[in-house]
Amino acid sequence: MTLKRPIRSVLLASAAVLAAYLVGVYVINSTQKPVAESTTPPALATLPSAIGDQITLTTWNLGYAGLGAQSNFIADGGSALLPPSRATVDDNLAGIVRTIGEDSSDIRLFQEVSNKSPLSYWAPVRDAVAGQFADWQTFYRPDVATRFIPFPLALDHGTFLAARYNPLSVETLPLPSEPGAMLGFLKRRYAIQIARFALQDRPGQLVVGNIHLSAFDDGGSTRQAQISAVLAFAEAEFAKGNHVIIGGDWNMVLADPAWPDNTDQKYLFWIYPFPREALPAGWTIAADATTPSVRTLYKPYVADENYTTSIDGFLVSPNVSVVSVSTRDLGFAPSDHQPVTSVFNLAR
């Protein structure tokens, strides 16, 4: 008996420590909130520090290299949480890197960039993306990041901004959060990732925002609140005399000429139109109505079967004109989203 009591005490103490740890992990991760931040990055001597009359931007949700054409995803009505294999992820990542290398845009906005996530078999997605911008200014902001959960279970996904110009500052502006938590315990920290740039031979700034809005909020209510916050920020910046371009994954339909599909309506539960009636006078949405930017994930991609639409694009202020906007058709091979590129003129 005297030998068993110490063992029992150790087991009880260990169980108590484990329980306290699990409770602490739950509380910390389920109550995370985005924090407003601002930094002034050091300028790179090889990059210009002012933007001229025209600028080209690309936005692309990379799907953490785990949501290519062969994947389905449980949150969209599919059956899988993970991609088919690590080899599939590696192929997706190779396609992502190749596509980035073929793009000549001045500023790139990426979403769902992961840092060795279990959802993509720990592929080095962020490092591979950053490697394409060795001589650029680059900034990463996690919006899904676990705390006090060790590798290999830790999650670290977020937005990534790359620019061939030196920004004046890089900021984080919090956006409204969903009432619930992902996977029952993880809070996504929504925010606008903002970069400010000087303009050549004139006052004011170019204010660029990178966003990834809510996708699975009940009735689209969180998205509506987020869009209201985005518009309030954008209008305030325009009132200061700044040029504003906010791009990313809006998770609301920006353009849709009804591309062919045979998807059951039950898999379209997350589809809501962007509230264009909320746009202030003179503001524009730059989205491509000729090529879709996203596909449904209830099953692997089959052209004309999976529902497709355009939810990726740009909001621009009245002093910015859209020269062109186009979605690059990759057949959704490396990601469930396709890159959208737009050329803008900045009015004097």
H/E segment holding residue 222: helix 221-239
Please state, in angstroms and as integers, the Cα–Cα distance from residue 59 to each residue in 38, 42, 311, following that order. 22, 24, 11
- Is residue 48 a contact partner of residue 54, using CB atoms and an 8 Å limit? no
Question: What superfamily in CATH does domain 34-346 come from?
Answer: Endonuclease/exonuclease/phosphatase (3.60.10.10)
What pLDDT sits at residue 183? Answer: 58
pLDDT digits (tens, 9 = 90+) for 305-347: 999 999 999 999 999 999 999 999 999 999 999 999 999 999 8
Domain boundaries along the sequence of the chain:
1-30, 34-346
Arithmetic mean of pLDDT over the chain: 92
Q: Is 99 exposed, middle or buried (0-12, 13-18, 19+ CB in 10 A)?
A: buried
The segments of the chain whose pLDDT lies below 50 read: 1, 3
Q: How many CB atoms lie within 10 A of CB 244?
A: 25
pTM for the predicted model, two decimal places: 0.93
pLDDT tens per residue, range 108-123: 999 999 999 999 999 9
